[in-house]
């Protein structure tokens, strides 16, 4: 019989805003948004005081200020946030080496065999939260269960500054009541699709066959099938594997002239090439993202037969993707982004050693 895993998901509460409030006493207890206070600024993180007014991440700063006129806006300091994140990570390392960072402010920990010899994962989670509070003067929420899916759901259940455990004996009942919108990997569009199928809860999702879910949602349908049964075999992966590199730019003014759009596309390509070089990423799928003035957005992608690394590789493909995008004076572009994804496999790199950095150098 396999040993039952003990997984913790730790999620820092309103991380960027909380760091700013910790370091700047004048911000404590006030509604705070981290972002650029400009016409095109976007909220990166909102404090819980601001969230009470409807302010949230990815929201326009201008909208946020209308919702909360007393909102205090702080420019982000990502280098500082990264340094604080590393302090949190060092606390994790006192308990286990099996740590999978999800982002700068959250991570999974496998504490099945932990350094402290503590038998209960809930005690480890509480001790981690205590140390973050006492040593860093920040709060974190944590979820505990036997797999990553349930631990992630649990960490969201009592935010902020909360701890929740989903015990194996109660997992099926918990998932049965869970709204599908809360399932990891179910976004707004997928939720609408599920609702149209009469699926609103985990129990209703469990009634749909795996074959039908795969027919409707593709490969991820099999994941939904497992999640509805409390199954998630994915291990906590300590080695971070980059899956894409990208960049995007929100323009100070909406653009619609073809010449202006092409100029911005060119600059975006140069920025992307620089990021690919710095990250030593090798991928073959290029994606163009366009957001319009009305905040609707589209993406267009294509996959090349060789690595996308240089301006010569990327610019012609970017222009080809742009040709598929409609825009005009009445439907101008607010934001443009490019990313390279679909990293090459080890087998491909063995067959094509010239693709490896050093054999085929990046070009500006």
CB-neighbour burial class of residue 102 (10 A; exposed 0-12, middle 13-18, buried 19+): middle
The answer to whether 43 and 54 are in contact (CB under 8 A) is no
Whether residue 106 lies in the annotated active site: yes
Q: Is 291 helix (H, G, I), strand (E, B) or coil?
A: strand
User: What's the CA gap between 121 and 145, in Å, rounded?
Assistant: 8
Catalytic residue of the set 20, 49, 100, 106: 106
Q: Which two tokens stand for residue 177?
A: 């009541």
Dump the DSSP string for 183-238.
STT--HHHHHHHHHTT--BHHHHHTS-HHHHHHHHTTHHHHHHHHTTT--------
Helix axes 78-93, 121-136, angle to 10 degrees: 140
Q: Which residue's structure tokens are 């960072």?
A: 101
Q: Which two tokens stand for residue 193?
A: 């699709």
Q: Which residue's structure tokens are 């620089």?
A: 274
Other beta carbons within 10 Å of 13: 18
Residues serving a catalytic function are: 106
């Amino acid at each position: 019989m396999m040993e039952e895993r003990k997984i913790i998901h730790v999620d820092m509460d309103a991380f960027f805003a909380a760091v700013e409030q910790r370091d700047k006493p004048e911000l404590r207890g006030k509604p705070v948004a981290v972002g650029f206070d400009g016409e095109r600024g976007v909220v990166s993180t909102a404090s819980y005081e601001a969230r009470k007014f409807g302010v949230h991440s990815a929201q326009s700063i201008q909208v946020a200020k209308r919702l909360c006129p007393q909102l205090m806006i702080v420019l982000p300091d990502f280098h500082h946030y990264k340094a604080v994140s590393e302090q949190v990570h060092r606390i994790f390392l006192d308990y286990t080496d099996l740590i999978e960072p999800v982002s700068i402010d959250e991570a999974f920990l496998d504490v099945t065999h932990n350094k402290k010899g503590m038998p209960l994962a809930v005690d480890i989670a509480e001790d981690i939260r205590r140390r973050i509070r006492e040593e860093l003067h920040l709060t974190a929420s944590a979820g505990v269960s036997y797999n990553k899916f349930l631990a992630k759901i649990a960490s969201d259940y009592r935010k902020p500054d909360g701890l929740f455990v989903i015990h194996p004996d109660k997992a099926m009942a918990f998932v049965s009541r869970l709204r599908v919108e809360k399932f990891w990997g179910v976004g707004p569009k997928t939720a609408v699709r599920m609702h149209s199928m009469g699926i609103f809860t985990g129990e209703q999702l469990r009634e749909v066959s795996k074959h039908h879910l795969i027919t409707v949602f593709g490969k991820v349908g099999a994941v939904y099938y497992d999640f509805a049964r409390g199954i998630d075999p994915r291990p906590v992966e300590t080695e971070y594997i980059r899956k894409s590199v990208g960049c995007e730019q929100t323009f100070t003014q909406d653009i619609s002239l073809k010449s202006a759009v092409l100029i911005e596309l060119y600059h975006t390509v140069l920025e992307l090439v620089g990021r690919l070089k710095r990250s030593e990423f090798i991928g073959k799928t290029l994606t163009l993202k366009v957001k319009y003035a009305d905040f609707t957005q589209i993406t267009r992608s294509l996959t090349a037969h060789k690595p996308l690394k240089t301006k010569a590789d990327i610019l012609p493909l970017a222009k080809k993707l742009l040709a598929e995008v409609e825009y005009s004076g009445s439907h101008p572009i607010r934001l443009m982004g490019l990313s390279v994804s679909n990293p090459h496999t080890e087998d491909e790199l063995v067959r094509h050693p010239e693709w490896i950095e050093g054999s085929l150098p990046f070009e500006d």
